[in-house]
Amino acid sequence: MYQEKLIISGNRIELYKYEAPVKSGVKRKKKRIVKRRTQEQVIEQVKKSEESNFEMEVMRYSSLRRTRARITRLINSNEDLQTFITLTFKENITDLREANKIFKKFILRLKYSHKNLKYLAVPEFQQRGAFHYHVLVNIEYLDNSKLADIWQQGFVMINKVKHINNLGLYVSKYICKKFV
């Protein structure tokens, strides 16, 4: 049990103090589910309840905060991620699985020319409903036309990230701007 939690991410330190002790290392018993419901049944039940709508909104916001904090910590722990890339699709790809499959192939091609590639990527919806990717990489210099040849899917924008205090927070706010 503990009442304080310390998180170190690069040169950032977070200290959390809890009023009540927090248990750690406790395994919960799996609840036995008597009747399995389909995803559609669960969604239908949730839609019927106004209270559930509020609870889902609270859970969504809480999930977004955790995701943003995780992205912030990952970036701050990897100070060599200094190049910000935006990748768009010229085709209107609205299926995340399809977009991720294409993105993974791009990463494999990029790793071919940059063996020690490290990256953090977040997909985001465009206003037209298609996906695009925000990617932070540890590559010092990237030629725009060379990267466009590797991407092969549409527009590429490269920005070198310089002199930003708490880069993780800056990038996570930029990436998560549409969810708030």
Q: Answer yes or no: are the C-beta atoms of 128 and 122 closer than 8 Å.
A: no
Q: Answer yes or no: are the C-beta atoms of 13 and 6 closer than 8 Å.
A: yes
pTM: 0.72
Quote the pLDDT of residue 148. Answer: 93
CATH of range 83-160; options 3.40.50.720, 3.30.460.80, 3.30.70.1910, 3.40.50.12780: 3.30.70.1910
Residue-by-residue pLDDT tens, the chain, 180 positions:
888 989 898 888 889 898 988 888 777 777 665 667 777 777 777 666 666 666 777 888 888 888 888 888 988 898 888 899 999 999 888 888 999 999 999 999 999 989 999 999 988 887 777 889 999 999 988 888 999 999 999 999 998 887 777 778 877 776 666 555
139: its two tokens: 């590559």
CA distances in angstroms from 143 to 26, 29, 34, 140, 149, listed in the order given = 50, 53, 57, 10, 10
Closest CA to 83 of 133, 142, 147: 142
| Distance of alpha carbon 50 from alpha carbon 56, whole angstroms | 10
Quote the pLDDT of residue 120. Answer: 92
